[in-house]
Structure 1
Amino acid sequence: MKFLVTGAAGFIGHGLAKKLLKEGHQVVGIDNNNDYYDVNLKLSRLADLGLKPELIVPGEKLSSSTGSEFSFVQMGLEEGDRMMSLFEAEKFDVVVNLAAQAGVRYSIENPRAYINANVMGFLNVLEACRHHPVKHLVYASSSSVYGANTKMPFSTKDNVDHPVSLYAATKKSNELMAHTYSHLYGVKTTGLRFFTVYGPWGRPDMALFLFTKAILNGEPLKVFNHGKMKRDFTYIDDIVEGVYRTSLLPPEPGSDQRTDNGTNAPFRVFNIGNSKSVALMDFIKAIEKATDKEAVLDMLPMQPGDVPATYADVTALSEATGYKPDTKVEDGVKQFVDWYRSYYKV
């Protein structure tokens, strides 16, 4: 099939594109390659997919130099007219929307970036899927939608009306917008609430990257909430496998498994996590073991917009796809540290 992967130069987008190509699908990737974090890392991911980054011209389609079925267009979700033209020309079977302005803390500093990319940009994707129908639209939501919830594990049946960051609010908005288009226009949509993703090619603003860099440089680690945090750390390969399997299973009307929801739209939402809540200090110990270095800890208070714990109930995902993420944190962390040392020649 022909897939559109938005955010193809991103962490998850890069991994998914590689998986799709391996499985014999045709992939068109888009990304705006913004400077929220190191653009060179994004370009390196594209190079890993067979592109020559020096040949990228914004708005023009560039094909892989390796003979693979991958091509790329540098553009943002906010470019509605260009998005519509791309859908008209390519006639996609499946769209996986992973492009977004990421990061909880940055949403406090620059809220408008989140509305532009995550709300207006997603509207453009929905409109394109409406006017140029696809078999399935899969899109990234986030565990952050659970906000201040304290009941563990987080279930898609839980109320998510209390986000504690604008980033979380935009992801909840995406789910509501997707349901509307499923209901009104029959667009088959699946939202995936990602829980803390980590692994090779990861984002430099996330804990594993920051902690590994600090430990290898002999610098102190900024540990928020005085280390009293728990996260459902989910390895990138597990995320990619879950996204891939989900993409091949478009929902039928009434697929939403949440109770008493009153909808018959072809719409659903899954959690996708490791279904284990790991203490942050244990995560740090795994990094210390992988680097063979001891961390220097700078204990700090909780940051605005953060939550103390996440923990995914993945029953619905497992029942639908037959898949459940299971990579052990110790193994995943080692894979990342090995990649980091190789990529940065440390």
Structure 2
Amino acid sequence: MSTKLIFRILKSFFLIFFLSLLITGCTTWKIGASGQKKISGKTYVIIGASSGMGRGVAEQLGKYKANVVLAARRTDLLEEVAAIIRKSGGNAVVVTTDISKQEDLQRVRNAALKEFSKIDVWINMAGVTVMGRFWEVPMEDQMRVIDVNLKGFFYGSRTAVEQFIIQRKGILINVASAMSEIPLAYQTSYSATKSGIRSLDLALSQELRLNGYDKIKVVTIEPWAVDTPIWRHAANYTGVEPKMAMMDEPDKVVNAVLRKSLRPKKIVPVGAKAQAASFSANVFPRFSEWFGGNMSHKYQIETGPEVPDTQGSLYEPIPEGRGIDDGANERMKEHKMKEKKQGKIK
């Protein structure tokens, strides 16, 4: 059997699998009236609330009349989100925070307890990334990704669990990635941190269970690539604009996070593509690695537009990328149309 025939068979299988997930999957459905009532009055901490999925979760919680503690580096944006929450009928507290600093996470905890006296759900959503060939990306940039995405999640998780043990209950939600299961080329440090988050959460869940803290739950959210400002904020040494194929809209992840804050589950691949990736990683690990690497090479190395190297928002926040989504899908379409007109692609 030829390689092309095998590839076609696998593509057909995954297409059928995608369609079945689209029909049966309910993780990304919006929360109904009964769920909204359960959220009302609960206290949520969101680390990484200034833009992207974190901002989306925060604004939705405001509509459901929750108490929301907003933490991120960009204070002006946190205040903007807080105003939206209050206008919607919720309560909000702003705490300027760098997740890579343990003392900042303790300040978040203290602010939540001072204002609302408890924490029901703690969500770690902050994240940075760097793209490029492993041997060309400055090592200090890769270590910064680890400081934020992995060490920061350790700090946040420890802070949350210490409070939950006092309360004897609570839900910790850590946002990882489909790359937790299928690491991708040119995002080495990011992939490593997301795999680390998955392992952290599973091990922590075991410890809580074995020590009698059954009412403390740990959830790992694993989205596919999402059209958020992370692409604009990325440190990048590939020579072309950061992007990925078939990016999901942020509302899928927002809905999944909110649903699992009510009905926690250990591992939550979000949407059909992430669920298919998770399935493939376990059933066809070598094929998944090959396919994922080739896809990453196409979008991270071969497909323009060309851009200069940048450290993005690794060390300091940047003003660009302030919304929930960021129009990366549209930019990709516009670039493709431009290249078609120029005759560069058919």
Change (3 A) 1:104 1:143: farther
Counterpart in the other structure of 2:296: 306
For 1:44-55, list aligned pairs within 5 A. Answer: 44=77, 46-50=79-83
Alpha carbons 1:104, 1:305 under 8 Å: kept: no
Counterpart in the other structure of 1:124: 155
TM-score for the superposition, normalised by structure 1: 0.54
Alpha carbons 2:49, 2:70 under 8 Å: kept: yes
- SS class of match (1:50): helix
Alpha carbons 2:247, 2:329 under 8 Å: kept: no
Counterpart in the other structure of 1:23: 64
Alpha carbons 1:198, 1:233 under 8 Å: kept: yes
| 1:270-303 deviation per Cα after TM superposition (whole angstroms, max 9, x unaligned) | 21135399xxxxxxxxxxxxxxxxxxxxxxxx99
- SS class of match (1:238): helix
Aligned-partner Cα distance in 2 for 1:106–1:249: 40
Change (3 A) 1:240 1:95: same
| 1:96-133 deviation per Cα after TM superposition (whole angstroms, max 9, x unaligned) | 11012234449834111112112221111121122110
Shift of 1:44: 4.5
For 1:159-238, list aligned pairs within 5 A. Answer: 165-186=188-209, 187-198=216-227, 202-203=229-230, 205=232, 222=240, 231-238=245-252
Q: Does 1:77 align with 2:99?
A: yes
- Residue-pair matches, total: 227
Q: Does 1:7 align with 2:62?
A: no
Alpha carbons 1:28, 1:70 under 8 Å: kept: yes
Aligned-partner Cα distance in 2 for 1:223–1:113: 21
Q: Match for 2:271: what amino acid?
A: G
Counterpart in the other structure of 2:270: 272
| 1:121-160 deviation per Cα after TM superposition (whole angstroms, max 9, x unaligned) | 11111211221105211111112234468xxxxxxxxxxx
| 1:135-190 deviation per Cα after TM superposition (whole angstroms, max 9, x unaligned) | 211111112234468xxxxxxxxxxxx99611110111111111222111344111
Alpha carbons 1:147, 1:164 under 8 Å: kept: no
More strand by share: 1
Change (3 A) 1:223 1:22: closer
Aligned-partner Cα distance in 2 for 1:182–1:130: 11
| 1:310-339 deviation per Cα after TM superposition (whole angstroms, max 9, x unaligned) | xxxxxxxxxxxxxxxxxxxxx9957999xx
Change (3 A) 1:163 1:92: farther
| 1:42-65 deviation per Cα after TM superposition (whole angstroms, max 9, x unaligned) | 8457524418xxxxxxxxxxx968
Q: Does 1:96 align with 2:123?
A: yes
Alpha carbons 1:130, 1:185 under 8 Å: kept: no
Q: Match for 2:232: what amino acid?
A: D
Shift of 1:307: 5.3
Change (3 A) 1:196 1:45: farther
Alpha carbons 2:225, 2:244 under 8 Å: kept: no
- SS class of match (2:94): strand
Shift of 1:79: 2.6
Shift of 1:21: 0.8
Shift of 1:308: 5.4
Aligned-partner Cα distance in 2 for 1:276–1:179: 18
Match of 1:136 among 155, 171, 185: 171
More helix by share: 2
Aligned-partner Cα distance in 2 for 1:303–1:176: 22
Counterpart in the other structure of 2:260: 246
Aligned-partner Cα distance in 1 for 2:255–2:43: 18
Aligned-partner Cα distance in 1 for 2:232–2:331: 18
Alpha carbons 1:182, 1:189 under 8 Å: kept: yes
Change (3 A) 1:250 1:204: closer
TM-score for the superposition, normalised by structure 2: 0.54
Aligned-partner Cα distance in 2 for 1:130–1:73: 19
Structure 2: give runs of 5+ residues left out of the alignment.
1-41, 210-215, 276-291, 300-326, 334-346
Which fold has the larger relative contact order, with Cα–Cα distance below 8 Å and residues 6 or more apart in sequence? 2
Q: Match for 1:170: what amino acid?
A: T
Q: Match for 2:203: what amino acid?
A: T
Aligned-partner Cα distance in 2 for 1:230–1:84: 35
